Structure 1
Amino acid sequence: MGLTSTPTLLTTTLCATALLTGAVWCWPRLARTTWRTVGGRVGLLLATQLALFACVVLAANRSFGFYASWADLFGQERGEGVVVDHTPYGTGGQGGAGGALRVVGLRDADGTGGRIQRVRVVGRTTRIATPALVYLPPEYFQPRYRTRTFPVAVVLTGYPGTAEALVRGLRYPRTAHRLAAAGRMRPMVLVMLRPTVAPPRDTECADVPGGPRTESFFAEDLPAAVRVHYRVDRAPAGWGVVGDSTGGYCALKLAMHHPEVYAAGAGLSPYYRAPVDRTTGDLYGGDRNLRDRADLWWCLAHLPAPDTSLLVSSSRTGENNYKDTLEFIRRVKAKGVTRISSIILDSGGHNFNTWRREIPATLRWMSDRIGER
């Protein structure tokens, strides 16, 4: 029986009900103080609580799609995703302005020979200040590359997320180094941070009226700050953005809204319309134009197709966005200008193990679409 199947949940529920009923029925028989009866009570209570806990966990996983299968739960899913291009691709655009960046820490990148700098970015136009991690590949420091600039991928977490999770949990630097060393992608600089620039509020990468101008920070301040402090491509043809979950939605929105900044945007397990809930608060201040613009479905229907490349991912089993992702691909293809690609796994939940399987193909895809040709 599958992890998310109805028979699994029903069987677990029946077991929990039987154990609870048995505990009530047998409790008077176990009232004595011998070691057998005490052990029986402890065992019965433990078994009942474990069964009830399993019911809750299975129901939550079924609702939110954290893990798609038993193999996914135990980290045994190993097959990497494969990119399918639905349209041809190209490049284009111009860059943004305004930002300051200060290095506050430095350490070796785990086993890659590169460096990870812990930085603090302060937006000159938005006044947003947020920490980030910048991965510089080993080639950045090699004499033969001293006159070369490097393409940049801005890498975003989900909500709330931490930049450190992109290094240790999702292993972006290690994967990028492995692929570059094998000649499967060009070396690139990774700027890793969470989209939650005004914690604990989830701003969904929007310019909130009277609040944080998060979209402007990622579209203007961050690229400008990175260009000033690092030897990176200045043209948007050398810039891409990738993220998972909330970060995936943000990556798609930034690439669609700002093709003059990002030549490519990749959303791993993204959604296509920003939620409004207790974590976001009022994102639009009653402004219908802002609300519509944050809705990627509305953008596809009412705005000119942006000259950028997009990648989306999902799983046939385990992801709630599968049908929406197929529809998003269809609508982008119908516009005829934006390039669209996808990674569709047979099985995979909304979790790190799934995204680790998609990241190698995503980085190769990104490398093919940004930087020197």
Structure 2
Amino acid sequence: MGLTSNKVLALAVVVAVLLFVATVWCWPRLANRSWRAVLGRIGLLLAAQLALFSAVGLAANNSFLFYGSWADLLGQENQMGVVEDHSAGAKHVKVVGKQRLDVPGGSNPAVGGQIQKVVIEGQRSKIASPAYVYLPPEYFQPEHRKANFPAAVVLTGYPGTAENLFKGLKYPQTAFKQAKAGRMQPMILVMLRPTVAPPRDTECVDIPGGPQTETFFAKDLPKAVSGFYRVGTKPENWGFIGNSTGGYCALKIALHHPGTFSAGAGLSAYYKAAEDPTTGDLFHGDHTLRRRANVLWSLDHLPPAKTSFLVTSSKEGEGNLKDTLKFIDRVKAPGRVSSIMLDSGGHNFNTWRREIPPALVWLSGRITA
């Protein structure tokens, strides 16, 4: 049974309840001062507490999807390797699985769309990363068989998993419902995590002598996807959206690459690259690279481009409010900036689930097929 399985959670709750009952039942029998009784009381208390904390932890993980599998929890996730295919004419997107969307009629792709699990191989960066591609129902309908669709790169935070984007944050389900209601156009979503060299947090930058993550997201990924799916190659065909680290990446890459992306949305984004034990040395002493990785600095020093930005924060509960207001103030024409400001909301899935529907509608209005 998987880490996020409801059966695992139910089993943990049952074990916790049984140990609590056992503790109450056995306590009178262990009331004397013998060493066996003392060890018995300690054992029951520890077991009951451990079971309780396990049940609470599983419930929290099921709600927020901090970890997607047992291997991810134990630090054994090794799915994201670096693959280089030297065969002539090799495709840079490989479909390795398909699954239905959890919506009415989801078993039929022409009714509910489809999520495809793929591996995207970077021609320039030599990085390969698994991803999930949501294809809307229209993609499979005969009357649209020759139509192109707009696409958006969707990134989760660090150290999240790509599964978070459709299991917890429900991006495809939201896009399906919003398009069905006529509030947005059908859109392809390319969903993945921001780190492509796990467990290192690469902050979507090109690391000297290391992973060329920015090149992968800004150059390789759009080219590979456009060559495999019916997506255009112009900036007006592409958007970028993400939360937390993914939000920082979305803003930074849309800002630095207006020739690839015409819109970037950062949900609870921060505005300069983190530098800590999870990132390692990102810049190797190159202050130019470090300044460039600061989105606020880049707004002041790069020529303004015709790029649209969306930023989000909360008046209470988010730590990025001050920098978000600075970002809004520094965007210059012909660039455009919009915002979602909640009265309260923390840095968590519940906040982002309140922001994703209007953010997707906004993004749909900024990109086109």
TM-score, with normalisation over the residues of structure 1? 0.74
Give the whole-Å Cα distance in 2 for the aligned partners of 1:292 and 1:281. 17
| Match status 1:287 vs 2:279 | no
| Match status 1:367 vs 2:349 | no
By how many angstroms is 1:336 displaced?
Answer: 2.7
| Match status 1:346 vs 2:331 | no
Partner of 1:161: 160
Partner of 1:239: 238
Partner of 2:85: none
What SS is found at the alignment partner of 2:154? strand
What amino acid is aligned across from residue 366 of structure 1 in structure 2? L
Residue pair 2:305, 2:333 contacting (<8 A) in 1 also: no
By how many angstroms is 1:167 displaced?
Answer: 0.6
Residue pair 2:263, 2:309 contacting (<8 A) in 1 also: yes
Partner deviation per Cα, 1:282-328 (whole Å, 9 max, x = no partner): 10111111111101121122221222000000111111111211121
What amino acid is aligned across from residue 217 of structure 1 in structure 2? F
| Match status 1:102 vs 2:94 | yes
Give the whole-Å Cα distance in 2 for the aligned partners of 1:100 and 1:108. 23
In terms of mean alpha carbon deviation, does 302-311 or 260-269 score higher? 302-311
What SS is found at the alignment partner of 1:369? coil
By how many angstroms is 1:147 displaced?
Answer: 1.9
By how many angstroms is 1:235 displaced?
Answer: 1.5
Partner deviation per Cα, 1:109-158 (whole Å, 9 max, x = no partner): 22251111100011111100110000000110011111210000110010
In terms of mean alpha carbon deviation, does 303-312 or 170-179 score higher? 303-312
In terms of mean alpha carbon deviation, does 140-149 or 99-108 score higher? 99-108
Give the whole-Å Cα distance in 2 for the aligned partners of 1:325 and 1:268. 10
Partner deviation per Cα, 1:58-111 (whole Å, 9 max, x = no partner): xxxxxxxx9xxxxx99xxxxxxxxxxxxxxxxxxxxxxxx97111111111222
- Tell me, which stretches of 5 or more residues in structure 2 are unaligned? 1-29, 65-89, 107-111
By how many angstroms is 1:337 displaced?
Answer: 2.4
What amino acid is aligned across from residue 364 of structure 1 in structure 2? V
Give the whole-Å Cα distance in 2 for the aligned partners of 1:299 and 1:229. 33
By how many angstroms is 1:236 displaced?
Answer: 1.3
What SS is found at the alignment partner of 2:343? strand
Residue pair 1:99, 1:124 contacting (<8 A) in 2 also: no
Partner deviation per Cα, 1:159-198 (whole Å, 9 max, x = no partner): 0111111011000010000000000000000000011100
Partner of 2:145: 146
Residue pair 1:99, 1:222 contacting (<8 A) in 2 also: no
Partner of 1:84: none
Where relative contact order (Cα < 8 A, 6+ residues apart) is larger, the structure is 1
Residue pair 1:247, 1:267 contacting (<8 A) in 2 also: yes
Partner of 2:113: 114
By how many angstroms is 1:238 displaced?
Answer: 1.1
Give the whole-Å Cα distance in 2 for the aligned partners of 1:173 and 1:371. 18
TM-score, with normalisation over the residues of structure 2? 0.75
Work out the number of aligned pairs and report it: 296
Residue pair 2:296, 2:326 contacting (<8 A) in 1 also: no
Partner of 1:296: 295
Give the whole-Å Cα distance in 1 for the aligned partners of 2:99 and 2:161. 17
The percent identity for this pair of structures is 63
| Match status 1:305 vs 2:304 | yes
By how many angstroms is 1:234 displaced?
Answer: 2.3
Residue pair 1:99, 1:121 contacting (<8 A) in 2 also: no
Give the whole-Å Cα distance in 1 for the aligned partners of 2:247 and 2:211. 19
Partner deviation per Cα, 1:254-274 (whole Å, 9 max, x = no partner): 100001000100000000011
- Tell me, which stretches of 5 or more residues in structure 1 are unaligned? 1-29, 58-65, 67-71, 74-97
Give the whole-Å Cα distance in 2 for the aligned partners of 1:208 and 1:275. 13
What amino acid is aligned across from residue 346 of structure 1 in structure 2? D
What amino acid is aligned across from residue 293 of structure 1 in structure 2? R
Residue pair 1:255, 1:262 contacting (<8 A) in 2 also: yes
